[in-house]
Structure 1
Amino acid sequence: MLKTQIEEGKGGRVILMDSITKVTPEDAGAIVVSASHGGASSGEFALEVPLKAVFFNDAGVGKDNAGIVSLDMLQEKGVAAGTIAHTSGRIGDANDMWENGEISYVNAGARALGLEPGAKLRTALTELISR
């Protein structure tokens, strides 16, 4: 299962992980691109470590917004978060999300960092950490 730091700049570092269950205290302050769905259980894992931001797969959003519910959970704790469209990146494959992902949803914290739906994830995060 993939977990690797992919980019680093003045504004932080980006770590790819196929599952948010792989987040550890060493990831504190990083931007994590997790190929997990953006549901409540994923949000709980993401809250275990103080991250700068975290991205998930929207998993098609689902019933009662189940695939993106973590965005509100994370916003309540001051964590920037977003998802990529399930049609642009494979669930469970962080590298595919990094290479092909298009941002589908963001919380207010992510929007404050300049991250917007419709943007290519890789481009947006590379620009963010270069500041």
Structure 2
Amino acid sequence: MKIPEGVVLLDSLGDLKPNNTCPILVCGSHCGGNRELAQHVRNCNVKAVFLNNAGIGKNQAGIRGLLHYETEDILACAVDHNSAEIGIAQDTWESGTISHTNAQAKEAGIEIGDAVKDAVAKIINMGYPTPATRESKIHASNNNETNSKSLKQQTQTEINGVLITVTDSITFLNESNAGDVVVCGSHGGLSAGEYAQKHRLKAVFFNDAGIGKNSAGTKSLESLSDAGIIACTVSCMSAEIFNGQDVLNNGIVSVCNQLAKERNIKKNMTVKEALKHI
């Protein structure tokens, strides 16, 4: 099925730009987040978004964004993590099925179990959402920089003499993070792994996002090992996705790559225990 006009596919929300003009976003990222992230999506002219439920996980963090998108008047749906690979927008489009919806999605007639393609057809057929207007683009350009700064926060903490960078998303890193040991709230899928390689990290801890279809939530680990980066995921039930501090404080390792295993990091270790081996 051809991708309809007005629909954009992105593997990561980190790739969403303020000059986006497609009102419907089908994205491989998780459906977690906070108000600032929802505002950022709105300011990028998105009016409907489809995101992975990331295994739902601890405190239902994998679908927490639904209410924030609702507050920002964005139609939002979470896609079953066993129906589509997290971090892969094309698979979300081709194979995703809806697991959760917000109020705007329900009003559009989208139901649990709908295919993503069918859900998109429903909102297009009812004439919603409309393309971005010039005024909304101006609004986005005036507000997006502030929202991005508030989103892209990092903290540094020292554990056993090692400086650790903690952030809610791997996409919030920048060139100054080269060589860092990072604990983040992102999933461990391919798109997240690309950011870890881009910033040449020493080590990284992700959320496994329920592991999901084709083990997509941990799929980056092998390629990161090949790139010389120690990498692990923690169980989505042990720590909230999009919450780096919770991963650090409460995360329980679920999968390790070869380099992590060579450092004697093992499944069921806490993140803090694992950090002692780096």
Q: TM-score, normalised by structure 1?
A: 0.90
* Structure 1 residue matching 2:204: 3-state secondary structure: strand
Match of 2:257 in 1: 107
Q: What CA distance in whole angstroms lies between the structure 2 residues aligned with 1:103 and 1:9?
A: 18
Is 1:124 the equivalent of 2:274? yes
TM-aligned CA deviation for residue 123 of structure 1: 2.6
Give the strand-richer structure, 1 or 2.
1
1:1-131, aligned counterparts within 5 Å? 1=151, 2-7=153-158, 10=161, 12-125=162-275, 127-128=276-277
Match of 2:124 in 1: none
Q: What CA distance in whole angstroms lies between the structure 2 residues aligned with 1:48 and 1:56?
A: 16
Letter in 2 for 1:79: I
Q: What CA distance in whole angstroms lies between the structure 2 residues aligned with 1:69 and 1:40?
A: 6
* Structure 2 residue matching 1:128: 3-state secondary structure: coil
TM-aligned CA deviation for residue 8 of structure 1: 5.3
Stretches (4+) displaced over 4 A? none
* Structure 1 residue matching 2:198: 3-state secondary structure: coil
* Structure 2 residue matching 1:34: 3-state secondary structure: strand
Which structure is higher in RCO with an 8 Å CA cutoff and minimum separation 6?
1
Coordinate RMSD, CA, aligned: 1.4
Q: What CA distance in whole angstroms lies between the structure 2 residues aligned with 1:80 and 1:44?
A: 14
Offset from partner CA, 1:35-65 (integer Å, 9 cap, x none) = 0000110001111112111110000000001
* Structure 2 residue matching 1:78: 3-state secondary structure: coil
Give the number of equivalent residue pairs. 127
Q: What CA distance in whole angstroms lies between the structure 1 residues aligned with 2:253 and 2:178?
A: 23
Letter in 2 for 1:13: L
Q: Which blocks of at least 5 consecutive residues in structure 1 are unaligned?
A: none
Q: What CA distance in whole angstroms lies between the structure 1 residues aligned with 2:246 and 2:253?
A: 13
Offset from partner CA, 1:40-91 (integer Å, 9 cap, x none) = 1000111111211111000000000110001012112111101000010000
- Matched-pair identity in %: 39
TM-aligned CA deviation for residue 9 of structure 1: 5.2
Match of 2:49 in 1: none
Letter in 1 for 2:277: L
* Structure 2 residue matching 1:59: 3-state secondary structure: coil
TM-aligned CA deviation for residue 124 of structure 1: 2.2
* Structure 2 residue matching 1:118: 3-state secondary structure: coil
Q: What CA distance in whole angstroms lies between the structure 2 residues aligned with 1:99 and 1:62?
A: 24
Letter in 2 for 1:114: N
TM-aligned CA deviation for residue 23 of structure 1: 1.6
Tell me: CA distance 1:92–1:51, structure 2 relative to 1, closer, same or farther (3 Å): same
Letter in 1 for 2:238: S
Q: Which blocks of at least 5 consecutive residues in structure 2 are unaligned?
A: 1-150
Q: What CA distance in whole angstroms lies between the structure 2 residues aligned with 1:100 and 1:8?
A: 15
